[in-house]
Chain A
Amino acid sequence: MPQRKDSPPRLVADPHVATPEEVQRAYEALTPTELIKLRNFADRRIRGLGRMALGRSGDGLLHEAITRVLQDKRHWKSENVDFPQYLKGVIQSVSSNWRAKFQRWEAGLGQGDGVTINEISLGASGPDDPELQLTSPEPDQERLLLVRDEVEWLQQLVKDHLYASAILDEMLEGRTGPETQGRLGITQTEYESTVKWIKNNARRAKAKEGDNAE
Chain B
Amino acid sequence: MPNRSRDYELELFNVMNALADVEWEMSESEILDELGGDGRDLETEAESAREIFRRAVKEYRQAPLRDAQKRYEQRVSNICKRDFRIPNSASERRELLSAFMARKPDFGASILTAQHREFKDLTDIDVESYLKQLTELGAIESSSEKEDSEL
Contacts and interface: CB of A to CB of B under 8 A. Distances in A.
Partners in one complex: yes
Interface of A: 5-8, 20, 24, 27, 30-33, 35-41, 44-45, 47-52, 59, 62-63, 66-67, 70-71, 88, 99, 141, 144-145, 147-148, 150-151, 154, 168, 171-174, 176-177, 192, 195-196, 198-199
Contacts, number: 138
Nearest to B60: A70
11 contacts: A5-B63, A8-B60, A20-B60, A35-B46, A37-B31, A62-B49, A99-B13, A147-B12, A151-B15, A174-B10, A176-B21
B18 interface: yes
Interface of B: 2-3, 6, 8-26, 28, 30-31, 35, 42-43, 45-46, 49-50, 52-53, 55-57, 59-61, 63-64, 67
A141 B24 CA distance: 34
A59 B31 contact: no
B46 A63 contact: no
B42 A50 contact: no
A154 B8 CA distance: 12
B14 A172 contact: yes
A67 B15 contact: no
Given A32-B42, A37-B26, A151-B11, A62 B52 contact: yes
A129 to B, nearest CB: 14
Contacts of B28: 33
B40 to A, nearest CB: 9
